[in-house]
Amino acid sequence: MSPNRRQAILGILAGAAASPLAGQVAKGQGLPDALMPTPSCGDNDEPTVAQTEGPYFTPNSPLKQDFTGDGATGKRLMIGGLVLDTACNPIPAAMIELWHADAAGSYDNKGSRYRGHSLSDEQGRWWFATIVPGLYPGRTRHYHLKVQRPRGEMLTTQLYFPGEPQNERDRIFDDRLLLRLEPAGGERYGLYSFVLA
Ligand SMILES: [Fe+2]
């Protein structure tokens, strides 16, 4: 995504975050509409960078967008955004898979705690209600994701948190994969839009 395009989207998101959104948040029905711009642009945007899958991916995750019942601890965070093509067109029915560590930094390698997948909606929007993952040795704080447009190639990547002290010491960290954290309605949102080739 070009810097100009990214700034345009982030500017819209930042302005929208001041809206009163508590009602929508309480329902847990995805990201508030006000945080979800409809993109339009004519330039060619760079596809989201791929990253290693890591050792903790397991296949056959459940269809699940709400992970908040998966554990008793952890700071809640809703993450979401858009799935776009390189011309900034939203991609509906893209598969988005999320897996991450629990609040203590452990992965559930036998079950499906903090593992699930969903499809982007007709406007290309994706979201998960989950927690901030805990740290584990050797890595900064991160989510793992796979994103695939219908009949398209699978993108495997990770998303990161701004301001994490470990970011600079993490060899995999890439600042093109930073979530943008936005407060709204007493909740916190981590926003990211994927661009698929
Ligand atoms: Fe990991």
Overall domain count for the chain: 1
Predicted pLDDT at 19: 35
* Rounded distance between C-alpha atoms, residue 72 and residue 131, angstroms: 10
* Averaged confidence pLDDT in the chain: 84
Q: How far apart are the CA of 172 and the centre of ligand 1, in A? A: 10
Q: Which of 34-38, 122-126, 178-182 has the lowest mean pLDDT?
A: 34-38
Ligand 1 centroid from CA 43, angstroms: 33
Burial class (CB in 10 A: 0-12, 13-18, 19+), 36: buried
Cα–Cα separations (whole angstroms), residue 174 to 48, 53, 93, 104: 11, 14, 27, 23
pTM of the shown model? 0.83
Domain that holds residue 85: 3-196
User: Which CATH number covers residue 89?
Assistant: 2.60.130.10
Cα-to-centroid distance, 132 and ligand 1 (Å): 13
